[in-house]
Amino acid sequence: MFSQLKPLPTDPILGLMAAFKADTNANKIDLGVGVYKDEQGNTPVLKAVKKAEEFRLANETSKSYIGLAGNLDYCQKMEELLLGNAHPALLANRVRTAQTPGGTGSLRVAAEFIKRCNDNATVWVTTPTWANHISLFEAAGLTVKEYPYYDYEKKGLLFDEMVNALSQIPAGDVVLLHACCHNPSGMDLNAEQWQTVTDIAKAQGFTVLIDIAYQGFGTSLDEDAAGLRLLASQVEELIICSSCSKNFGLYRDRIGACSIISKDASAADVSNSVLLSVVRSIYSMPPAHGADIVSTILSSSELTTMWHDELDEMRSRINEFRSLLKEKLNDKCHGMDFSFIERQHGMFSFLGINKEQIERLQKEYSIYIVGSSRVNVAGISHANIDYFADAVAEVTK
């Protein structure tokens, strides 16, 4: 049986990681992999996480299964983090949440849930979107199509084109939106645009799926969830896929959540039964560690304050280097304007350089970025920013 298998191409980002690791250049820079890094190039364990882990180690009393939905306190805390404590959907008991193995696991659960609801549904994603979105939904047997989003030429949104496309999507289909810090472009909808999209969703009757993997990395925890909260207050049904990898730094602990908002409490119970059936058929029950850490932090005012401070520090560092990167590149790359970098949010931005220039950056300077020219701004530091800017200036002459 196995002899019939053919080798598949390596994931581009995983391939970059391997090439970077093997590179012996002392000046090498990894701007490909999507993880937060500090000034020393490390992805640190947050102090609040360390304290929560100490508490868990001292107080855990069982290694038994935790149930299909996972840690129920974690699920409640995530709902409140995403929607706010007094959101109408929560007050009306319309929300049901399952803990998932990371944001990717949440998306796969959502995909299977959508398939159970309508096996003919098409999932519409932004052009561009996180590459794994497409494979996740296609793996569940769903059709995936794209709608206009990012303007590569003007480095902004194709909002009019987006509105036109969304206005033609029928009920029964699903539209995926990034809540904040769009991956890979960094371009987000403003408040007025969120309202326009909400109005279209209500008029057309399609279901919205919100992917929120970077809450707190854009402007603030609340502002980054503003579009999500608006939609949740005005539409009858909504799917939310969330992740704690970035804002809690729990990448390897694989902790996320899939939340379903239904039109009323009775419908929410039905949705929940299907959601948990999906979970049972994929991985049965989630791991405990990551959810316990998040629950412990959000249950303690001391640890929550500590986490907020650390999250503010990470966000401030990213925004600082957006400004510095814009200044350095504008100064060194004559005739080019990189001001768009400062107008974007989160870790990612397209540089807008071509494939040959990207290949030169890697071959001649050991600077690793994705072939689309997406860079992880968090990989820039005071120690490497001039080297990076000089290299970009050289390859774009």
Q: Are 179 and 224 in contact (CB under 8 A)?
A: yes
Count structural domains, the chain: 2
Mean pLDDT of the chain: 97
Catalytic member of 124, 130, 194, 307? 130
Which pLDDT score is estimated for 9?
Answer: 84
Whether residue 58 lies inside any domain: the answer is no
Whether residue 237 lies inside any domain: the answer is yes
The answer to whether residue 330 scores a pLDDT higher than 90 is yes
C-alpha angle 229-322-215 in degrees, rounded to nearest 5: 20
Whether residue 2 lies inside any domain: the answer is no
Whether residue 292 lies inside any domain: the answer is yes
Residue 130 bears catalytic tag: yes
Bridge partners, 256 (sequence order): 100, 243
Average pLDDT rounded to a whole number, residues 290-300 = 98
Whether residue 3 lies inside any domain: the answer is no
Residue 211 bears catalytic tag: yes
Which pLDDT score is estimated for 264?
Answer: 98
β-pair type (348-350, 374-376): antiparallel
- Which structural domain, as residue segments, surrounds residue 376? 9-44+315-395
Residues 155 and 197 in one domain: yes
pLDDT tens, position by position, 208-237: 999 999 999 999 999 999 999 999 999 999
Residues 233 and 355 in one domain: no
Q: What percent of the chain has pLDDT over 90?
A: 96
Residues 229 and 97 in one domain: yes
Residues 277 and 325 in one domain: no
The answer to whether residue 206 scores a pLDDT higher than 90 is yes
Residue 326 bears catalytic tag: no
Residues 281 and 366 in one domain: no
pLDDT tens, position by position, 142-187: 999 999 999 999 999 999 999 999 999 999 999 999 999 999 999 9
Average pLDDT rounded to a whole number, residues 236-241 = 98
Phi, psi dihedral angles at 356 (to 5 degrees) = -60, -40
| Furthest CA-CA distance within the chain | 63
Please indicate, yes or no, whether the overall pTM of this predicted structure exceeds 0.85. Answer: yes
> Could you tell me the CATH number of the domain that includes residue 207?
3.40.640.10
Residues 245 and 365 in one domain: no
Residue 191 in tokens? 């408040």
Residues 335 and 385 in one domain: yes
Whether residue 56 lies inside any domain: the answer is no
Residues 326 and 295 in one domain: no
pLDDT tens, position by position, 338-369: 999 999 999 999 999 999 999 999 999 999 99
Catalytic member of 51, 246, 328, 332? 246
The answer to whether residue 15 scores a pLDDT higher than 90 is no
Residues 80 and 156 in one domain: yes
Q: Are 141 and 115 in contact (CB under 8 A)?
A: yes
Is residue 87 exposed (0-12), middle (13-18) or buried (19+ Cβ within 10 Å)?
Answer: buried
Catalytic member of 30, 173, 188, 211? 211
